[in-house]
Amino acid sequence: SNSETNRIEETASWVWNYFEILQSTSEYKKQGSCLIEVDDRNSSNSKRICGQIIRTQGSTRNFATHLGSYEVTKGTNSTNSQNLTQSLSFIHLLKVLDPYYDLPSDKQIKLRINEGYNLASAHLKEILKNKVRF
């Protein structure tokens, strides 16, 4: 059906790894709520999900632009992590190591990897800024 085709097209883009897909409307073909974890402005120690709703009638450029504001780009997506977390052998290994461990969703893993990258990148830039003079 046409709605199934649209759903497949929507999820084919890398941006959907960082958005919850929302129901399309007559005005907007694609809508999504951002799942990026950000610092909570009201609390110095806590995080919150961005939650901004992005809409478009066609391409996913608006979504990619929004993600770019968090330094998330196409290169941060990895299909290998998805394949690993869906592997029955990997899930079994985790259950053997810790029967009470609940594997996070693919989206949460990707968000955590991206967050770790951003923190490490900022830290490295700070170190280099203090050590390297141009």
Taking all residues of the chain, what is their mean pLDDT, rounded to a whole number?
A: 79
Q: Percent of the chain, pLDDT > 70? A: 78
Same-domain status, 31 and 83: no
Residue pLDDT, tens place only, 12-26: 788 888 899 999 888
Structure tokens at 48: 């919150």
- Rg of the chain over Cα atoms, rounded to whole angstroms, equals 18
Instruction: Specify whether 67 is located in the same domain as 1.
Output: yes
Per-residue confidence (pLDDT) for residue 32, from 0 to 100? 92
Amino acid, res. 98: D
Residue 80 has pLDDT above 60, yes or no: no
What percentage of the chain has pLDDT greater than the value 90?
A: 20
H-type alpha helices, the chain: 2-12, 61-68, 79-86, 88-97, 106-131
Q: Are both 3 and 68 inside the same structural domain?
A: yes
The whole-number pLDDT of residue 119 equals 94
The residue segments making up the domain with residue 98 are 78-134
Count the domains in the chain.
2
Predicted local confidence at residue 109, as pLDDT:
84
28 and 89 assigned to the same domain: no
Same domain? For 24 and 69 the reply is yes
Encode pLDDT of 33-51 as tens digits. 998 888 777 766 678 889 9
Q: What's the gap between Cα 123 and its chain centre?
A: 21
* CA 96/CA 32 separation, integer angstroms: 37
Task: State the pLDDT confidence band at 130, using cuts at 50, 70 and 90.
Answer: confident
